[in-house]
Amino acid sequence: MKIYTKTGDKGTTALFGGTRVPKYHGRIEAYGTVDELNSYIGLIRDQKVEQSIFDFLIKIQNELFTLGAMLATPPEKEQLKNGKERLNIPKITAENIEDLEAEIDKMNEDLPPMTHFVLPGGHTTVSYCHIARCVCRRAERLCVALSVDETVNEHILKYLNRLSDYLFVLARKLTIDTQSEEIPWIPQKN
């Protein structure tokens, strides 16, 4: 299989189902940003983290590929002519969202209560979490914008919202794990 097809040389790409759209189309922006997020999650996973976190990040990465495939499939192309689903893969469901919530709750048990916003940083791994969180929020915003004109599965929006929360709490946990300092944001008066 060749990696290059030359079909996108004029600035278009194909969604699942064959519909060609400009590379700046909302669906492309949304799933492209999800792909960027997935790469940052991989960067976090490549750091020295507990095995349970490593395993959960692998789960998230797999779910992000599924989420991207869902975004790459326009609703009118979800079914083949014979009535079967075009995407013959598990979809993002409420259970995936509940898994994120359970991990958030588990990590939060050992964290001190938040009294202020915190400045991103303190350790490279923590910073990667904050970058991933920001990219996740951008992916979420792009999906919300796409949902104004096109159908977007509601679980995609909820999943991305919860994933950004997970990444924030993971950053806080990794701050403790790396024995780094969590610096609160305290507005300075001029």
What pLDDT, on the 0 to 100 scale, is given for residue 89?
Answer: 76
Q: Is the pLDDT confidence value at 171 over 60?
A: yes
Tell me how far CA of residue 79 lies from CA of 64, 111, 153, in angstroms: 21, 46, 15
**Domains of the chain, residue spans:** 20-75+88-110+117-177
Name which residue leads in pLDDT, 50 or 16: 50
Domain 20-75+88-110+117-177 listed as CATH 3.40.50.300: no
pLDDT (tens digit per residue) in 151-170: 899 999 999 999 999 999 99
Average pLDDT, stretch 26-39?
92
The C-alpha atoms of residue 152 and residue 142 are separated, in whole angstroms, by: 11
Tell me how far CA of residue 189 lies from CA of 106, 160, 186, in angstroms: 37, 35, 9
What pLDDT, on the 0 to 100 scale, is given for residue 9?
Answer: 62
Q: Is the pLDDT confidence value at 22 over 60?
A: no
Both tokens of residue 32? 């492209």
**5 near 38, Cβ under 8 Å?**
no
Residue spans of alpha helices (H) in the chain: 26-45, 51-71, 94-108, 124-149, 154-177
What pLDDT, on the 0 to 100 scale, is given for residue 148?
Answer: 94
Q: Mean pLDDT highest for which of 60-64, 179-183, 186-190?
A: 60-64
pLDDT (tens digit per residue) in 74-132: 777 666 667 677 677 789 999 999 999 999 999 999 998 888 888 899 899 999 999 99
